[in-house]
Chain A
Amino acid sequence: MKKAVGVVVAVIVVVALGFAGWLFLGRDQMSFAGGATVELAKYAGGNVTGVPAQLADADLVKRGEYLAHAADCQACHTAPGGTPFAGGFAFNMPFGTIYSTNITPDKQTGIGNYTDAQFLAAVHRGIRADGERLYPAMPYTSYGYITDADALAIKAYLFALAPVSAPARQNKLSWPFSQRGLLAVWNAMFNPGERFRPNAGQSPQWNRGAYLAEAMGHCGECHTPRNLAFALDNHRKFAGALTAGWRAYNITASKDSGLGDWSDRDLYSYLSTGHAEGHGGAGGPMGEATDNSLSYLVPEDVNALVTYLRSIPAQATDLPRTVTTPAPASYREGVAVADANARGEKVFAGACASCHDWTGVSPVSGYATLTGVRAVNDPSATNVAQTVINGVDRKTGRGIAMPAFGQGYSDDDIAAVANYVTARFGAKGARLTGQDVAHLRMQTAQEPKEGSND
C-alpha cells in the first residue's frame, strides 16, 4: 500500500515537473527554427541589429527614433487622444486594469531621472528605477532581445522629447495579481533574459526579420497564445490569440487559418500600409501597429519581416478557410440568417450597405471591401463587432476612416449586424448576443467602471 502511494506521488511529481518544463520550454520565441545560435559579433552574415544602412550615419536621436518606431513604444504608452508617450492607456484584463506609464523625460512623473543602467533594467528585465517589478504588459520578455546599443538609442530619442507632466494612473488589480513581488518568480520562469543571438544557419535577411519581429515588433505578444501563467506559449507560436478584446489572427503558414494563401506582395503591402487588396485592412490594435510602427520601416526591413514570417511553421487552428467570392448583388439572395425581425439586415441596409455594398465589394475603396477579410470569416465575429463599436481611424497613406457606431447602436443591434455580416460575406455566421457585445465593449473601454474586474 505504502509503495503504491509512493508510486502515485512520484508520477504526480514527474508529471508536474514535466508540465512546468513544457511551459518553460515554450518561452523561447525562435527555437522553432532549430540549428545553432551564435553571439552577435560572431555571426558571419554581418550585423542584423541596429538601424538600416540608410540611417547608418544619422545621429543617435534619429537612429533612436527609427528603433522606437520599430519597437512601437508609442501605441501602448499613449492614451487615446493623449500626448504621445505620456502613458495612460488602459489594458483591461480578466484580473483587473493596468495603465501604461509616462516615458517622456519629465523628472517627476516620467523617466527623466533614469540612468542608462536603469533604463536597460526596465527594458530587458522589467525592473523599475525604484526596484519594483513591471507587469509583463510591458513586453520585456521580447524587448530582452534588444541590444544595449539599440535600447540606449531609443532612450536618447525619448530623452529628446518634450517632458510631459502626467502622473501614473493607479492600476486596479485583484489579489494576488496586485502583488508585484510575485513577478520575480514569473520572470525567473519566463524571461529568457538574454540578448538576441542570430541563427547561424539562417540568412542575414531572416535574422534581421527575427530581430525586428521578436526583439522590436514583439508580434508574439498579441499573436501567440498564452499559457496558464499568461506567458507566451511558443509551442503554438503565432497561432493567434484574443488580446485586449481583439483577436490577433493566426500568422503562421497555415493555408486555412493563417497566411499560407497570401503572396509575398500581399504581406509586404499589409505590413507597410495596413492593407492588402483582397485581404482587407488592419483596424484596431493592428491598425495602430501599422500607423505607429510598421509604416515607418524601410523596404528592406519590411522584406526581412516577410522572409521571417514565411518561415514560421504552420499551426492549424479552428478558423475556417476564407471565402473569396463576393455575395450576391441583391439583398434577397445569399445566406439566410436566423434573426427575428431581420434586425441585422436592417442595420446593414441603413448604416453599412452604402460603403460595403450588398456584395461586400466596396464601390468606394478597397479598404472597405469585406470579401476575403479574415475578420469577416471569423465565426466569433470579435473583430467585426469591435470594428462596428470603435470604427476605424487610420493615419497611414491618405487616411482611412469608418465611423464608430458604438454610441449610436444598442448591443443587440451590433450583435445582429455582426452576425449578419459574418453570415453574408464570411465562411460561417456568428451567434453573438447583446451580452457578448457588452463584454467586448468592456474589454476595450478606456474608462472601465469602478470595481469592475471583467
Chain B
Amino acid sequence: MLTLTINGQPREVDAPADTPLLWVLRDHLNLVGTKYGCGVAQCGVCTVHVGGKPVRSCQLAVGDVGTRAVVTIEGVGNTTHGARVQQAWLEEAVPQCGYCQAGQIMSAAALLDRIPQPNDADIDAAMAGNLCRCGTYIRIRRAIKNAAAKPA
C-alpha cells in the first residue's frame, strides 16, 4: 500500500510500485482529467505537478513519487497560478478538440510558478514539449500572457 498526497489529500493506493502514476490516477483514483497520449513522454498530454515540477505521469513510476506532492488538473484550480491560467483559458477560448489541454494548462501553471512574467522565449522553452494537433499554440501563448497580466 502506498500513500500519495494528491491535490492536498492523502490517498492510499494499492498498486505495484512500477505502475506509471498516470494509470494510478486514472484507473485507481478515477482522476480521469489527466489523459494518455504517446506513452513515451513526447507529447505532454499526461503532465501533472510532482513536487512543484511539471512531470510526464506516463513515465513516472508510482513507487518513485515518494513524499512529493502531486497536483493534477482536477486540483490545479486551487492554486493561484492554476486558477489564473484556467480563467485565461476560458477567456481566450483556447481549446479546440481539448485532448491536450489538461497537459497544456499544467505546464503553463508550472511556468508561472517559476517565472511570473514570462517572455516569448520563456514560453517556448517551457511549452515546447506539449504538443497540440489542432494547432492552438497562438491562443496558448496569448492565454499565458493574459494569465500573467492578471492582478495578484
Q: Which residues of A approach B to under 8 Å, CB–CB?
A: 329-332, 345-346, 349-351, 353-355, 357-358, 363-365, 398-399, 401, 403
Contacts and interface: CB of A to CB of B under 8 A. Distances in A.
B44 A354 contact: yes
Contact of A331 (B51, B56, B125): B125
A354 B129 contact: yes
B50 interface: yes
Interface stretch (B5-13, B59-67, B85-93, B134-142): B59-67
A363 B128 contact: no
B41 interface: yes
B148 to A, nearest CB: 16
Contacts of A355: 41, 56, 59
Given A363-B50, A364-B55, A364-B59, A353 B64 contact: no
Contacts of A351: 42, 129
Contacts of B129: 349-351, 353-354
B26 to A, nearest CB: 18
B35 interface: no
A346 B56 CA distance: 19
Contacts of B55: 354, 363-364
B74 interface: no
B16 to A, nearest CB: 9
Given A350-B128, A351-B129, A364-B60, 19 more contacts: A346-B128, A349-B125, A351-B42, A353-B128, A354-B41, A354-B44, A354-B47, A354-B55, A355-B56, A363-B50, A363-B51, A363-B55, A364-B41, A364-B59, A365-B59, A365-B60, A398-B17, A398-B18, A403-B42
A69 to B, nearest CB: 23
Chain B interface size, under 10 / 10 to 19 / 20 to 34 / 35 or more: 20 to 34
Given A351-B42, A363-B50, A398 B61 contact: yes
Contacts, number: 57
B40 interface: yes
Contacts of A346: 124, 128
Interface of B: 17-18, 40-42, 44, 47, 50-51, 53-56, 59-61, 64, 114-115, 121-122, 124-126, 128-129
Secondary structure class of chain A's binding surface, majority of residues: loop
Nearest to A408: B42
A341 to B, nearest CB: 12
10 contacts: A331-B125, A345-B125, A349-B126, A350-B128, A351-B129, A354-B41, A354-B54, A358-B125, A364-B60, A365-B59
Contacts of A332: 121-122
Nearest to B18: A398
B128 to A, nearest CB: 4
Given A349-B124, A349-B128, A365-B59, A401 B50 contact: no
Contacts of B41: 354-355, 364, 403
Which 3 A-B pairs rank lowest in CB-CB distance, beginning with the nearest? Answer: A349-B128, A398-B18, A350-B128
A365 B53 contact: no
B64 A364 contact: yes
Nearest to A346: B128
B121 to A, nearest CB: 8
A433 to B, nearest CB: 24
A254 B39 CA distance: 40
Contacts of A358: 125
Contacts of A354: 41-42, 44, 47, 54-56, 129
Nearest to B47: A354
Nearest to A398: B18
Contacts of A331: 125
Contacts of B44: 354
Contacts of B47: 354
